[in-house]
Structure 1
Amino acid sequence: MKKKCIILLVLILLPCQIIGCAEEISSIDPEYVRTYVPQTAGALPEFIAAFSVPEMPEQADTYRIVYPAVTESFVIETARKFGITGTVTEGTDGFSVVDEQTGSTLEVFTSGAIWYNPEPYREIHFSENAALPSEKEAVGIAVQFLEERDLLPSENKQYAKAGTGGTIQGKPGHILVSFRYTIGEHPVEGPGFRFLVRVGNNGEPGEVFIYCPEVERRKSVLLLPVEKAFGELQKGNGSWTTYNEKTIILEEVGLRYYLQPVNETQEYVLPVYVFQGYGLNDDSTQGNEAQAIVNAVDIGNSR
């Protein structure tokens, strides 16, 4: 049974609330999900498997995203939580508000994602000789900032992780605090995975980006064997992030759920395999980190 949400904010931001649903997917449009994991353009590198296949389940659940109704009144109320007052402007991807006094901006996408950019941006994020908190302190600042605005359900706090978010003249400019989360039993990956707070000079909260859609379970599907999925990657049926190295050594593989960018319409959330490794330099030494993502279900790849 679905939970009724009295406050629209909870409907939009409650991370990964999974609603039980007896209805099954009768079919998945193959033309829609064919590009579910975008195929990277350009030259196809040589992928070499250097990983041991971990124990994987034979099947995994699929989900449908429940998109919220983002209204102008909701955007105004959300802007007030960040101290922003101004005229709401509607665009192709949602709404935006620019503060009349400071110039700080808030964007609320039709997907429910929230993006806050405070001003003065550079002074907060890239101040010379910035007085930064420790990573542990930065996590506490980020958690408090979100909790005071009812933007961080308790499920996400345990996944907080901090690290250098940017540098100026070789020194850390601010601390990036990200909040990982799961859908069902598996972590989320992809360009739509963005739930972060940047903590800058004197511990001041900076940019905030929040996206963790509400989903409802649809049905379980059989997973491709990892070896077969890797074969699809070698044919170019997948997405990869490299630095133009011609050879990629992949050392780890895990099961994840894939989120597309927040400004794109994504109906289903399906499982993917995420491979991690590194590229080889021209002199065969270890190069930059590399990642590749392949569909974990058979959706009719055809390259």
Structure 2
Amino acid sequence: MAMDHGGVRAGANCGEPELSDSLKTFGAVLKALRDEARLTQEQFAPRVQYSAAYIAKIEQGKRFPPRDLLDRSEEVLGATAARVLAAAAGSLTRKVGLASWFLQWAAIEEDAISLYAYECRAIPGLLQPEAYIRAIFERRLPPLSGEQIEHQVTARLERQQLLAERPNTAFSFVIEQALLERRMGGPEVTRQLLDHLLDQGGRRNIEIQVMPLCQYDHAGIDGLMYLAETQQHEWVGYSEGQQSSILITAPKDVSAMLQRYGKLRSQALGREATVSLLEQMRGAL
């Protein structure tokens, strides 16, 4: 895998990934070791400081295992089991493809105490209502089958549950007004999108800001960016492009992204002005 700007680049279709064989294998190994220790998911999860639902996703191959899981598992399952688990994890780090790296970012998202997103391409996945998700995947090229679309919609809606499951996480989204003006999927889909943004923006831990169409001073010229603060107060960046994705961990590069994001927040409309604009656009449909 090619290293670039302190991150890992991988081939991608920039949508929700299919389950990879290596992730499913790791999940099966974790489940077998947990069963051998005669622990249920509900018993095992608090001992490794994760939720039972999160452990279930890892065992199903739906989430990339976080770094801390291996160390914490050794204390619960023993040294021998930890070596087996580490060997299974080794195949994940060698796997090329978006599935592994996107799922690693999804794991970072679920464990983050702060999560920031700037989008100039599409509404952030965590904020997309079902109708908008379908509009995106129905227009995907090469075309997807009906079954593939359903799989993608289900995966994305499941991922969005963390907005409700993590009330102590601070979410910040800066969205270009052009994404709303585009009316992806038509007026009815746009109406549902605006209603959804107004609803989500009403949560105490979610801040949504719109970047106006006319903005002479704009810090987002380098494109979309995602940033997450881990429980250890370390920041990680993530970005996507055409057929590629990158996880950014080098402190210098993440610092630059944080500076840009801070500037974007100061340039975008505030919370009240954003609500006013969304309501105005909703009324114009």
Q: Name the TM-score class by shorter chain.
A: under 0.3
Structure number, greater radius of gyration? 1
More strand by share: 1
TM-score, normalized by length of structure 2?
0.26
More helix by share: 2
TM-score, normalized by length of structure 1?
0.25
